[in-house]
Amino acid sequence: MALPKLKQSATEARLDALTMPEGGLLQSARAAAVARVQTMGLPHRRDEYWKYTTPTSLVEAEAPKAEVFVSGEAPLFDHFDSVKIVFVDGVFDAEASDDLALDGVTIERLVDVAQKDIHWSKDLYGVLEARGQTPVERPLAALNTAYAADGVVIHVTGKPSKPINLVYRHESETSDAYLHHVIRVDSDAEATILENGPAASRFNNVTEVEIADKGTLHHVRAQGRDHERRASTHMFARLGTESVYKTFTLTVNGVLTRNEHVVELTGDDAAAHVAGACVGDGDFLHDDTVFITHDAVNCESRQVFKKVLRNGATGVFQGKILVKEGAQKTDGYQISQSLLLDDDSQFLAKPELEIYADDVACSHGSTSGAIDEEGLFYLRSRGVPAAEATDLLTLAFLAEAIEEIENEEIGETLVDRLQSWLSRRR
């Protein structure tokens, strides 16, 4: 079927403005991704999964200008002993990055891998993204597969002694960054990946994760703080038997952020936890879109999302649990909640369950409400100022999502940063 003229014109304009990176190893995957984009067309507000979020600024040929915000704070995870990998406006910064050598893991740059004749990542690059296009099309992810020039390729073979910390710095007001990461976790291996920073004026990021039997990956991401930035991110994960995948994202500021998670549980007894929290103020739209497929026996999935919105901010949650035939003993849980601190903000939710097995325990819920007046009165009656009491109740509201983080120290770091953000916004 031919694309509508409006989508076709926008898609052609965007592709004409991009140049495909060189590198024979990934060339066939890139060409296939371009073909997918041409067939699907770039997203439009009329598309079912974009009806709450206007994608115009994510697809136009030139990135909208975004002022660089200087916070004066140290990068979020700087105090952790980690392997730091720095990208500035989507370009690897070797001087600011650490040595990539670490026991139990091999870390390479995508640009270097693409020049090789043989590499394991060829069997994974673009593969999970392509699988994730059904039943919902994700053209921005295919666009990334085709045109991302760099990223990291991580092969976890053991249990590295410290996390890998991806730091994204924004220095140009017109930067348009594409990064693509590929992660493979071997059987019985375990690693933690951290991500933080505003990245660019406009950021398109894709991560493909394959976890073998009994492998474990922890992922914690913090997005912010430049207010005018825009971001579209996709995380695709495929889980083997008894594997564990836990990911958490904290977002503050940003005029438009769309985070998509596509997870396949293909091995028995696997567990996937996808969680997020955001605090938005004013001209702020934050969209979490999640699709989890249960295709094995006795698997567990959790989706926990909390949004705090004020001064006209908008939050969106679209989450689906698909239980395929034969995926008995599935335990699927989904909750999305918003705290609206004024009458001008809004929360738009679309929770879904699609179940083809008869021995499952699946639930979903979505709520939206104002601050707890009784709790606020209790704190005020004990001498806590109104603004500080509101902040305390806000942090309590976000706690369920933050508790999904396995590492308590990382969780406490995020809470401390949230407290600082809230206190400045009083």
Q: What φ, ψ does residue 417 adopt, rounded to 5°?
A: -70, -35
3-state secondary structure of 110: helix
Report the share of the chain in percent with pLDDT over 90.
Answer: 90
Q: Which two tokens stand for residue 257?
A: 């952020």
Mean pLDDT of 187-197: 97
Residue 141 has a pLDDT of 98
- Cα-based distances in Å from 386 to 2, 44, 324, 397: 57, 42, 49, 16
Q: Which two tokens stand for residue 236?
A: 């695709």
Residue 263 has a pLDDT of 98
CA–CA gap between residue 122 and residue 21 (Å, rounded): 15
pLDDT in tens, 321-376: 999 999 999 999 999 999 999 999 999 999 999 999 999 999 999 999 999 999 99
Which of the listed ranges 17-21, 44-48, 126-130 does the model predict with the highest average pLDDT?
126-130
Query: Is there a contact between 182 and 205 (Cβ–Cβ < 8 Å)?
Result: no
Contact residues for 211 (Cβ-Cβ < 8 A; gap 6+): 185, 217, 237, 238, 239, 240, 243, 244, 245
Q: Would you mind telling me the total number of residues written for the chain in this entry?
A: 426
- Written as one letter, the residue type at 305 is F
The DSSP letter of residue 168 is E
Helix axis angle for 27-40 and 5-16, nearest 10°, is 150
CA–CA gap between residue 112 and residue 232 (Å, rounded): 24
pLDDT in tens, 216-236: 999 999 998 889 999 999 999
Query: Is there a contact between 86 and 97 (Cβ–Cβ < 8 Å)?
Result: yes
Residue 7 has a pLDDT of 85
Residue 5 has a pLDDT of 77
- Between 212 and 424, the more confident residue is 212
Q: What confidence tier does 55 reach under pLDDT thresholds 50, 70, 90?
A: very high
Q: What confidence tier does 420 reach under pLDDT thresholds 50, 70, 90?
A: confident
CA–CA gap between residue 70 and residue 343 (Å, rounded): 31
pLDDT greater than 60 at residue 166: yes
Q: What confidence tier does 9 reach under pLDDT thresholds 50, 70, 90?
A: confident
Query: Is there a contact between 230 and 256 (Cβ–Cβ < 8 Å)?
Result: yes
pLDDT in tens, 109-160: 999 999 999 999 999 999 999 999 999 999 999 999 999 999 999 999 999 9
Mean pLDDT of 19-43: 95
Going through 97-243 in order, the beta strands assigned E by DSSP cover: 105-109, 152-156, 164-169, 176-185, 190-196, 202-211, 216-223, 230-239
CA–CA gap between residue 362 and residue 366 (Å, rounded): 14
pLDDT in tens, 195-215: 999 999 999 999 999 999 999
CA–CA gap between residue 236 and residue 249 (Å, rounded): 15
CA–CA gap between residue 322 and residue 355 (Å, rounded): 6
Domain boundary assignment for the chain: 1-384
Continuous segment of H or E residues that includes residue 306: strand 300-310
Q: Which of 285, 186, 179, 271 is nearest to 234 (CA)?
A: 179
Report the share of the chain in percent with pLDDT over 70.
Answer: 99
Pairing of strands 285-294, 256-265: parallel
pLDDT greater than 90 at residue 253: no
Residue 1 has a pLDDT of 56
* Dihedral of alpha carbons 170, 172, 177, 179, sign: negative
